[in-house]
């Protein structure tokens, strides 16, 4: 019995190590992506200007375009679920029609979890989700008092004109439709 337990333990350790070695490397290339917020050194909010180049769940690079009117951020797992539920209810092409972009902060997620669960799950989606891998980028935007809600920023040529919060999929769809 002890030998069987020892062998099982060894298999679990070796299997876990192998899994970590295979899925523990990030494909994120920080030199390819950026996020700028101005004015520098001031709290991010209404009147701030936003510019970014971020990857989506497929590794494709996206930059903020001048016609983007709304950006929705998920800084927590709960906020991510709100976005997912809303997008399941939204028709195909909803984000493009409303000039909206979705961004999720996955900077706090271990690489193994990103690669094994989060990214494969996101790749099943019919919508594009831009990703923040860098903690410093996320800190620049995050509003900790509302981290469990989706932060919805309305833009006018990259300048934040208003910030609202969605605590439900229905409210998020309404805010994205503005």
Please report the DSSP string for 97-164 in residue order.
HTTEEEEEE-TTS-HHHIIIIIHHHHHT-SS--EEE--HHHHHHH--GGGTTSEEEEEEETTEEEEEE
Q: 150 Cβ partners below 8 Å, 6+ apart?
A: 72, 73, 74, 79, 82, 83, 165, 166, 167, 172
pLDDT of residue 46: 93
Q: Is the pLDDT of residue 48 over 90?
A: yes
Q: Is the pLDDT of residue 16 over 70?
A: no
Q: Is the pLDDT of residue 27 over 80?
A: no
Q: Is the pLDDT of residue 7 over 80?
A: no
Q: Is the pLDDT of residue 3 over 60?
A: yes
> Is residue 173 a contact partner of residue 156, using CB atoms and an 8 Å limit?
no
Encode pLDDT of 144-163 as tens digits. Answer: 667 899 999 999 999 999 99
Encode pLDDT of 115-144 as tens digits. Answer: 889 999 999 999 999 999 999 888 888 766
List domains and CATH numbers for the chain.
28-176 (3.40.30.10)
pLDDT band at 22 (very low <50, low <70, confident <90, very high): very low
Supply the pTM of this predicted model. 0.84
Q: How far apart, in whole angstroms, are the C-alpha atoms of residue 91 and residue 173?
A: 11
Q: 19 Cβ partners below 8 Å, 6+ apart?
A: 112, 116
Q: How far apart, in whole angstroms, are the C-alpha atoms of residue 145 and residue 77?
A: 15
pLDDT of residue 25: 60
Burial class (CB in 10 A: 0-12, 13-18, 19+), 72: buried
What are the φ/ψ torsions at residue 60 (nearest 5 degrees)? -80, 135
pLDDT of residue 6: 62
Q: Which of 4-13, 17-26, 54-63 has the highest mean pLDDT?
A: 54-63
Residue 130: beta bridge partners? 56, 103
> Is residue 75 a contact partner of residue 151, using CB atoms and an 8 Å limit?
yes
Encode pLDDT of 56-109 as tens digits. Answer: 999 999 999 999 999 999 999 999 999 999 999 999 999 999 999 999 999 999
What is the tally of helices (H) and strands (E) in the chain? Answer: 7, 8
């Amino acid at each position: 019995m002890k030998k069987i337990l020892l062998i099982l333990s060894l298999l679990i350790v070796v299997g876990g190590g192998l899994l970590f070695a295979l899925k523990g490397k990030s494909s994120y290339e920080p030199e390819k992506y950026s996020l700028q917020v101005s004015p520098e050194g001031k709290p991010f909010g209404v009147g701030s200007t936003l510019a970014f180049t971020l990857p989506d769940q497929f590794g494709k690079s996206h930059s903020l375009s001048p016609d983007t009117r709304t950006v929705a951020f998920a800084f927590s797992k709960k906020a991510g679920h709100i976005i997912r539920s809303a997008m399941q209810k939204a028709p195909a092409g909803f984000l493009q029609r409303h000039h909206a972009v979705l961004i999720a902060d996955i900077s706090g997620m271990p690489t193994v979890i990103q690669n094994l669960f989060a990214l494969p799950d996101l790749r099943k989606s019919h919508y594009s989700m831009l990703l923040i891998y860098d903690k410093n980028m996320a800190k620049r935007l995050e509003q900790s008092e509302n981290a469990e809600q989706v932060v919805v920023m309305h833009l006018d040529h990259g300048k934040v004109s208003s910030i609202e919060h969605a605590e439900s999929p229905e409210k998020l769809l309404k805010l994205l439709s503005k």
